């Protein structure tokens, strides 16, 4: 489980999933099983770009949806992956007016004369993650999280055109072939050179070649995508605007407020400012700033009322508190910690390199918690530290463990017939493990019926700016989010100096 926080990862040595047989069937509403996708032909998570600006054009023989019926292996594989993608990303998000808006944007992009035979199937995924990707055969996917970050139809068109470019250029097929070549090269280097330093150099060079190949594909998709939206009449500068919003979002997700550029450097990927500058350069080839259709009103009308953040099935994060209306439980983390609610678990990272993980397991009601905590799923457990507890009327057992330079507090709680695990990790030299673990575990409680009933999911609402409204007053109307002013500026694509104007339309987040 990866946890952002000063560039470190939550140690995984503590819990051995192979020995923890019960964790394979946890409380189903708390976490969905993660499905391993064999998407070697997909272009998921496109967020990088290179400096190569050679001429680009779509493949002369693009793989289309129609080829599925003719037995094409790659498109048949993409069709098989569709239900798996839905399972991984929370299923398909259903909202007729939103679907019509997205379909209208896709339709405007399919009029490109270079690809008159290319068809697409667009799916809106019910995920708060910001992502869009494509599979061979014209299968396009966009998350509602990405739609919440975009601010007009032109920005959405830029994202979709980028993914459509991957399809028409057969990037998935090309990448799969290149990966196969690098796997073979790696095998040869390992078998022939063994542990020789030259082998390590060869492996690193192979990874860099693949990274360079991938980022060249990203640049190609950006260039073709910007050209496509310009031809469709959209503002070609929308791509750069959305990239700026992506950069701001990435920074906001970091505990320190700074983006971690380490992985970009390792993969030889350019930084966000470089990609934005290249997008601006492409846009200037087609129109001056301020021209082209943004189609903001119809876009905002489409996303009005759209779900924002987590679903009731996954639970809600409200500031420093996690609440699950379906399971009827809640807990809070100390000041300075940031909660991340994923499909696998609820995690939090905070000061002093301390991390927290919360999940659920299914065990026989007759099994004592003292027996369960000693059943072999905790590495480095100190049996003498095991103690029975009562946490807000719920049966619980806590213990300590040590592994790989870390110390852990492990608490198992039985509530409402379910069993939950709360793990707190801190560096071996830290003196804050006990206080942090106690604060979190003692905050665990069962929600009342009234509390469960009052919990509603957050939604995007479009409001009209009234005379006298400011960024601060509009942000104050938002609910369920931290740093309201910062979040308001982020979702509306506003810089720190930007202001609102009476009569304009903006997005706010609320549970109403």
CB-based contacts of 212: which residues, under 8 Å, 6+ apart?
A: 50, 268
Q: How far is CA 407 from CA 7, 355, 401, in A?
A: 19, 11, 6
Query: Which two three-digit tokens encode residue 450?
Result: 């009234």
Give 430's DSSP letter.
-
Strands 505-510 and 321-324: unpaired
Whole-number Å distance between alpha carbons of 220 and 46? 12
Report pLDDT for 150.
98
User: Where do we find the tokens 């250029």?
Assistant: 169
**How far, CA to CA in Å, does 481 sit from each of 84, 119, 211?**
31, 39, 36
Asked if residue 270 lies in contact with residue 264, where contact means CB atoms within 8 angstroms, the answer is: yes
Task: Compute the distance between CA of residue 179 and CA of residue 474 in angstroms, rounded to an integer.
Answer: 49
Strand duo 394-403 + 381-391: pairing: antiparallel
The alpha carbon of residue 419 and the mean position of all alpha carbons in its chain are separated, in whole angstroms, by: 27
394-432 exposure pattern, b = at least 16 Cβ within 10 A, e = fewer: bebbbbbbebeebbbbbbbbbbeebbbbbbbbbeeeeeb
* Length of the chain as a residue count: 512
- How far, CA to CA in Å, does 302 sit from each of 140, 144, 186, 197, 270? 19, 11, 48, 57, 34
Distance CA(301)–CA(278), nearest Å, equals 31
Give the chain's radius of gyration (CA, Å): 25
Which pTM value belongs to this model? 0.74
Q: Closest by alpha carbon to 340, among 362, 305, 314?
A: 314
DSSP code of residue 24: G
Query: What are the structural domains of the chain?
Result: 38-305 (no CATH), 328-446 (3.40.1000.10), 458-510 (3.10.350)
CA–CA distance, 439 with 389 (Å, rounded to integer): 14
Q: Which residues pair with residue 487 across a beta bridge?
A: none
Residue written as token pair 């400096």: 51
pLDDT along the chain (512 residues), means of 10: 29 42 36 27 34 32 37 70 89 96 93 69 93 85 96 97 82 47 43 49 44 66 93 96 90 52 35 84 95 97 97 92 96 94 87 96 95 95 98 98 95 97 97 98 98 96 98 97 94 97 98 92
Distance (Å, whole) CA 87 – CA 160: 22
pLDDT at 26: 32
Burial of 371 (C-beta count, 10 Å sphere; 0-12/13-18/19+): exposed
Around Cβ 75, how many Cβ atoms within 10 Å? 23
Q: How far apart are CA 432 and CA 276, in angstroms?
A: 42
């Amino acid at each position: 489980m990866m946890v952002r926080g000063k560039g470190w990862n939550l140690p995984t040595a503590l819990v051995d999933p192979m020995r923890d047989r019960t964790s394979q069937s946890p409380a189903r509403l708390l976490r969905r099983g993660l499905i391993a996708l064999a998407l070697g032909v997909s272009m998921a998570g496109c967020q990088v770009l290179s400096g190569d600006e050679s001429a680009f054009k779509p493949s002369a023989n693009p793989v289309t949806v129609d080829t599925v019926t003719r037995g094409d292996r790659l498109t048949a594989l993409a069709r098989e992956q569709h239900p798996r993608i839905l399972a991984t990303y929370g299923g398909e998000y259903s909202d007729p007016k939103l679907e019509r808006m997205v379909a209208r944007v896709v339709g405007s992009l399919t009029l490109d004369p270079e690809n008159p035979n290319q068809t697409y199937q667009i799916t809106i995924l019910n995920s708060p993650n910001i992502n869009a990707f494509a599979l061979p055969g014209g299968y396009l996917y966009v998350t509602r999280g990405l739609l919440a970050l975009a601010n007009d139809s032109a920005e959405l068109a830029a994202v979709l055109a980028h993914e459509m470019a991957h399809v028409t250029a057969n990037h998935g097929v090309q990448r799969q072939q290149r990966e196969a070549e690098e796997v073979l090269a790696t095998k040869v280097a390992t078998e022939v050179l063994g542990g020789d330093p030259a082998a390590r150099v060869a492996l690193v060079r192979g990874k860099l070649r693949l990274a360079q190949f991938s980022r060249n594909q990203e640049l190609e998709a950006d260039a073709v995508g910007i050209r496509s939206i310009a031809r469709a009449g959209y503002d070609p500068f929308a791509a750069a605007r959305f990239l700026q919003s992506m950069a701001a979002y990435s920074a906001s997700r970091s505990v320190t407020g700074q983006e971690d550029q380490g992985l970009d450097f390792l993969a030889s990927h350019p930084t966000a400012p470089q990609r934005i500058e290249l997008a601006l350069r492409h846009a200037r080839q087609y129109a001056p700033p301020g021209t082209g259709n943004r189609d903001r009103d119809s876009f905002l009308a489409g996303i009005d009322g759209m779900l924002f953040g987590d679903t009731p099935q996954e639970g809600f994060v409200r500031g420093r508190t996690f609440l699950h209306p379906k399971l009827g439980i809640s807990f809070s983390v100390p000041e300075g910690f940031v909660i991340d609610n994923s499909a696998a678990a609820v995690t939090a990272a905070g000061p002093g390199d301390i991390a927290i993980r919360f999940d659920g397991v299914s065990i026989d009601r007759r099994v004592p918690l003292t027996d369960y905590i000693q059943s072999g799923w905790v590495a480095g457990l100190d049996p003498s530290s095991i103690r029975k507890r009562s946490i807000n009327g719920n049966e619980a057992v806590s213990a300590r463990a040590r592994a790989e330079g870390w110390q852990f507090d492990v608490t198992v709680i039985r509530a409402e017939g379910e069993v939950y695990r709360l793990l707190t990790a801190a560096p071996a030299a830290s003196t804050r493990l006990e206080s942090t673990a106690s604060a979190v575990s003692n905050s665990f409680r069962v929600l009342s019926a009234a509390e469960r009933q009052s919990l509603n999911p957050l939604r995007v609402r479009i409001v009209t700016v009234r005379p006298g409204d400011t960024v601060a007053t509009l942000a104050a109307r938002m609910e369920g989010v931290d740093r309201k002013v910062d979040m308001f500026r982020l979702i509306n694509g506003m810089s720190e100096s930007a202001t609102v104007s009476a009569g304009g339309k903006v997005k706010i987040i609320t549970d109403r």
